[in-house]
């Protein structure tokens, strides 16, 4: 590849990356949310890209480090006060709007395709929540759910799409909010599968998913004991021996055989649980014996055997691990768990910043996959990807800002040393004062 071809190729990648957040859109949104009233030394485009890419490689995401990075890549020098005063509710609103916009952009992309057995579905969604621990000084505003000591935290609720390989929706809610309240079922679930854990286990939720034309797979709670009403095709157990019996009783009598049955579940459709509102529905239950753990893994779903066979249900549910890997990626590599500030606005801004870093990472990941179709795409694992991205984050930030400005506006190493090595506290007494200089 010649120098001209390499330059043209990199320009294409820069254009694809910055299309996710166009400079004009960033500026308009910054003004709309009140984050920027008039441009002086804080340029919204430089500020945005510095916030989401710059500090990725740092072990600690601090306001001081963010200020240094902004000065390097914008070419301006700021006082500490002018930088700190930018972390306001308006900044939080700006970053939240950026997250919403980024999610909408990623939702239009199809990075991956479903297995042939899942072709009849439009997508597979995975839902889960995770806790972000905050400084204990924020305990009054963000109280923790269960803690023997004073603690603060918030809950990050995420719904991810397998097709777009990215979050579909993200929200920050109080830690004391129960998981089930973070899942709102609507028309968006039609012809799609939803995978979730026991935190979202509720029969009325199963019913709503079915009513909206959607599908789900979940583990069965250990204390659930539904009535078996029939055997599904493919199951080699005698139907007469299990029909009319409770699930727990049947599982005890099995010798490692796979179970695939329909069960009957009564539930109420309102909180008052009046008898007249009692609803009886049937769902499919699949139980597969785990030789290593010496116990059954039991799943509940409304996907019929005509669509997915018994063993495939368990394999499909294992895909839920992908959202756990996303949380690990965000916390370990994008510093979602490094929020040590006592300031509420700074804490919220840093959380939204980590989310934006994840969105940008997914966009760049999708670009690289599309440009390398001959590679074994399954080997582009996201955890490995994020670690490599960390090491090159400054080079990526430099190239993006140079592409947007059409020139190199970042400081040289000489300018960085001269400007940032100076102690900003002019009147501070120092040990050497009066002795030598």
Most confident among 52-66, 68-82, 190-204, 326-340 (mean pLDDT): 190-204
pLDDT > 70? residue 234: yes
Any residues with CB less than 8 A from the CB of 85 and at least 6 apart, and which? none
Decide: 89 and 345 in contact? Cβ < 8 Å: yes
Question: Sign (positive/negative) of CA torsion 368, 369, 373, 379?
Answer: positive
pLDDT > 70? residue 421: no
pLDDT (0 to 100) of residue 300:
96
% residues pLDDT > 70 (the chain): 86
DSSP-derived 3-state class of residue 249: helix
| Per-residue model confidence as pLDDT tens digits over 341-375 | 899 999 999 999 999 999 999 998 888 888 877 76
| Per-residue model confidence as pLDDT tens digits over 171-198 | 999 999 999 999 999 999 999 999 999 9
What CA–CA distance (Å, rounded) separates 416 from 424? Answer: 14
pLDDT (0 to 100) of residue 26:
95
pLDDT (0 to 100) of residue 127:
97
What CA–CA distance (Å, rounded) separates 151 from 195? Answer: 31
pLDDT (0 to 100) of residue 433:
62
Q: 192-196 and 215-219 as β-strands: parallel, antiparallel, unpaired?
A: parallel
Question: What is the average pLDDT value for the chain, to the nearest integer?
Answer: 85
Query: Burial letters for 311-350: b for 16+ Cβ neighbours within 10 Å, e otherwise?
Result: ebbbebbeebebbeebbebbbebbbbbbbebeebebbbbb
DSSP annotation string for 141-154: TSB-SS-SS--EEE
The beta-carbon contacts of 420-429 under 8 Å, at least 24 apart in sequence, are: 420/68, 420/71, 424/79, 424/80
What CA–CA distance (Å, rounded) separates 56 from 10? Answer: 22
Estimate to the nearest angstrom the gap between the alpha carbon of 125 and the chain centroid: 12
pLDDT > 60? residue 272: no
Q: Measured at the alpha carbon of residue 299, what is the angle toward residues 298 and 300, in degrees to the nearest 5?
A: 135
pLDDT (0 to 100) of residue 335:
82
pLDDT (0 to 100) of residue 418:
55
Q: What is the mean pLDDT of residues 391-413?
A: 76
The residue written with tokens 């799943």 in the block is 299
pLDDT (0 to 100) of residue 120:
92
pLDDT > 60? residue 406: no
**pLDDT classification of 69: cutoffs 50, 70, 90:** confident
Q: What is the mean pLDDT of residues 89-115?
A: 90
pTM score, whole prediction: 0.86
Q: How many CB atoms lie within 10 A of CB 17?
A: 19
Smallest Cα–Cα separation from 389: which of 372, 365, 359, 410?
365
pLDDT (0 to 100) of residue 370:
82
Q: What is the mean pLDDT of residues 218-229?
A: 91
Q: Measured at the alpha carbon of residue 276, what is the angle toward residues 274 and 277, in degrees to the nearest 5?
A: 70
62: number of CA atoms within 13 Å, CB side? 7
**402 vs 91, residue with greater confidence:** 91
Which has the minimum average pLDDT: 17-21, 78-82, 310-314, 412-416?
412-416
What CA–CA distance (Å, rounded) separates 334 from 355? Answer: 8
**9 vs 64, residue with greater confidence:** 64
pLDDT > 80? residue 299: yes
pLDDT > 80? residue 158: yes
Q: How deeply is 193 buried, as exposed, middle or buried, from its count of CB atoms within 10 A (0-12, 13-18, 19+)?
A: buried
Q: What is the mean pLDDT of residues 95-108?
A: 93
DSSP-derived 3-state class of residue 261: strand
What CA–CA distance (Å, rounded) separates 185 from 204? Answer: 10
pLDDT (0 to 100) of residue 405:
77
Q: Where are the domains of the chain?
A: 3-107+341-420, 202-314
pLDDT > 80? residue 62: no
């Amino acid at each position: 590849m010649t120098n001209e071809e390499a330059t043209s190729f990199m320009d294409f990648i820069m254009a694809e990356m910055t299309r996710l957040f166009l400079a004009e859109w960033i500026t308009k949104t910054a003004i709309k949310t009140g984050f920027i009233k008039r441009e002086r030394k804080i340029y919204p485009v430089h500020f945005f890209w510095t916030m989401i890419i710059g500090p990725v490689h740092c072990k600690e995401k601090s306001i001081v480090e963010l200020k240094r990075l902004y000065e390097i890549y914008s070419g301006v020098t700021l006082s500490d006060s002018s930088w700190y005063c930018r972390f306001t509710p308006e900044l939080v609103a700006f970053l939240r709007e950026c997250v919403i916009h980024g999610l909408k952009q990623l939702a239009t992309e199809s990075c991956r395709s479903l297995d042939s057995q899942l072709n009849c579905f439009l997508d597979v969604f995975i839902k889960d929540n995770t806790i972000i621990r905050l400084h204990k000084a924020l305990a009054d505003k963000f109280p923790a759910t269960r803690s023997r000591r004073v603690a603060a935290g918030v809950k990050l609720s995420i719904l991810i799409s397998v097709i777009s390989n990215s979050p579909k929706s993200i929200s920050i809610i109080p830690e004391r909010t129960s998981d089930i309240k973070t899942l709102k079922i609507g028309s968006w679930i039609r012809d799609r599968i939803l995978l979730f854990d026991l935190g979202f286990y509720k029969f009325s939720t199963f019913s709503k998913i079915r009513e909206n034309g959607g599908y789900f797979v979940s583990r069965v709670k250990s204390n659930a004991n539904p009535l078996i009403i029939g055997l599904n095709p493919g199951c080699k157990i005698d139907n007469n021996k299990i029909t009319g019996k409770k699930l727990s009783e049947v599982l005890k009598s099995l010798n490692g055989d796979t179970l695939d049955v329909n069960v009957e579940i009564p539930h109420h459709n309102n909180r008052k649980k009046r008898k007249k509102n009692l609803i009886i529905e049937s769902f499919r239950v699949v139980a597969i014996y785990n030789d290593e753990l010496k116990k059954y893994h039991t799943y509940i779903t409304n996907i019929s055997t005509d669509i997915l066979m018994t063993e495939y249900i368990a394999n499909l549910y294992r895909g839920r691990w992908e959202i756990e890997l996303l949380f690990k990626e965000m916390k370990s590599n994008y510093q979602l768990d490094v929020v040590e500030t006592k300031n509420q606005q700074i804490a919220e801004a840093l959380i939204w910043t980590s989310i934006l870093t994840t969105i940008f990472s997914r966009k760049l990941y999708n670009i690289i996959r599309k440009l390398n179709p001959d590679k074994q795409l399954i080997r582009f694992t996201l955890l490995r990807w994020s670690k490599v991205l960390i090491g090159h984050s400054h080079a990526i930030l430099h190239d993006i800002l140079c592409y947007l400005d059409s020139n190199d506006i970042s400081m040289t190493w000489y300018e960085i040393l001269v400007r940032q090595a100076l102690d900003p506290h002019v009147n501070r007494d120092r040990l050497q004062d009066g002795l030598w200089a």
